[in-house]
Chain A
């Protein structure tokens, strides 16, 4: 079964190297979270995260090697979703450290979003049948 094979192959590696967050966050955060109100929120978020990783592995494993460069630039654009957090960081007009940092974050994320999607489209246009 491709699903099982994919999980067996990729998940230990993924958990080992890409998700140090999970390994570190769990033992530290769980006891503290269990007593407070945000325990449910954290657990829900962890659930979403883990499921999304499984889904990501399943979906990405089907991308043919010939498209791996567009995949990388396209996923770069998707990681520009940080723009959403950046927008909410700079919501006043004053010149404050937070606003300047927020504006830089918005610019950086927007370069990712616009540049990433455009360059991926540019590349994918090359792939034609004769």
Chain B
């Protein structure tokens, strides 16, 4: 009876997750969808507790209390600019939980077989062993890989630069082979000779080392791909744990999250014109601009102006499009850009924002940053939608973006970023580029946009320049 109720609770939770995700297809329904998924989770937890019946709840309550308090504290405290780190850390925790649950299931199995009388009924098949190994490995890779990504994004780990160990591919291959070896040890020998705990620990530790080493060589610019992929892994880890425990709700939820992460990974790869394999091999951003080429920029006819000089052109415009990049968030200029847009709109000038898929440091990051600054979401326009309109745009203001507006990606075969979809801002009538200097972006290459005939550089901090523009419009 209790089991039936628990199964119904799991069914309810699975449906709630699907409905919740479905409601995320509109901005209006998203918040309610999130709440519905939350209710589904609560029902699943209650159903499990009910199923467990009269047990000792001390460990459960202790763990849940610590987790809830920490989770709530983190959720309210995290600044929106740090969402990539936050999500990376959460991916890792999901992986950790999956690995530990799989280990626990093995330990419980060991305990039960120690009692000879019931060993026959608790024999597990090869499918269980395979699921166990996968759950241990994927969980561990997700955990340490996410920790590396988290530290890189936070700038703690070598400021996010790629860390290229000599012979890293050989090391990773050897580690992979060792994992397979340990899995064979577990399935073929250890389970029958009471060495399963050692084998499982070896698998988890090797997997952990592998995850860490896999993320180290990946550069900061590729982090959106890595976070998305690890997001997917955290789902797959949960699903494999579902196979270990024979729990359909875990399988379904894990599959949903796994699918979500993979779709986002694809979108990010496409937006950077990179294959997933190319990202994972790592070292981009170092190889592309290496050999001191970074410093040797060859700009000859860059024109610059001050914010005051830009005012007449801006005030004469009918349509303005802002192109925000991560540099805007670094200088905390989101509110300044919205203030400027408000003032322009009060003068009857139409303002929109062109959002490149990799404008921030994770999928959709720039949208959240601007939404937080009260920019109405319908003014945030995707690349494919706004590109045809840019020809008819009077003024484009590029703030803290570089590679995503580099015409080289469109025109110059052989460039490291050739083929990457870009915002065609060079087609606009006038382009202002607010930037501290002519330094290159992540790709480490020159941007011919800066010396285009219709472009004017405003050398300043993003926020200060925007505030100066706003002040000029006001006064």
Contact = CB atoms under 8 A, between A and B. Distances in A.
B371 interface: yes
A104 to B, nearest CB: 6
B250 A114 contact: no
Nearest to A122: B75
Contacts of A129: 376-378
B90 interface: yes
A3 interface: no
Contacts of A72: 87, 227-228, 231, 260-261, 264, 362-364
Contacts of A69: 83, 87, 360, 362-365, 367-368
Given A74-B34, A106-B59, A107-B64, A89 B367 contact: no
B408 interface: no
Interface string B1-43: 0000000001001000110111011110011001101100100
Interface residues of B, number: 126
Contacts of A63: 21, 24-25
Contacts of B355: 65-66
Contacts of B91: 76
A52 to B, nearest CB: 4
A65 B251 CA distance: 26
A28 interface: yes
B49 interface: yes
Interface in A27-44: 28-29, 32-33, 36, 38, 41-42
Given A70-B30, A80-B94, A89-B105, A18 B86 contact: no
A112 B68 CA distance: 9
B310 interface: no
Interface string B105-141: 1011001000000000000011110110010001000
Interface in B269-302: 276
B104 A105 contact: yes
B192 interface: no
Interface size on A, as a range, is 35 or more
Interface in A90-113: 90-93, 96-113
Contacts of B398: none
B381 to A, nearest CB: 10
Contact of A112 (B55, B94, B247, B371): B94
A64 B380 CA distance: 11
B13 A81 contact: yes
Given A73-B83, A79-B257, A129-B378, A41 B126 contact: no
A128 B338 CA distance: 14
Contact of B248 (A45, A79, A110, A125): A45
A127 to B, nearest CB: 5
Given A80-B41, A126-B372, A10 B263 contact: yes
A61 B76 CA distance: 29
Top 10 A-B pairs ranked by shortest CB distance?
Answer: A110-B67, A56-B259, A68-B364, A106-B63, A115-B71, A114-B71, A52-B255, A89-B104, A93-B56, A68-B363
Interface of A: 9-10, 13-14, 17-21, 24-25, 28-29, 32-33, 36, 38, 41-42, 45, 48-50, 52-53, 55-57, 59-93, 96-130
Given A93-B56, A93-B58, 5 more contacts: A68-B364, A72-B260, A75-B21, A103-B63, A116-B90
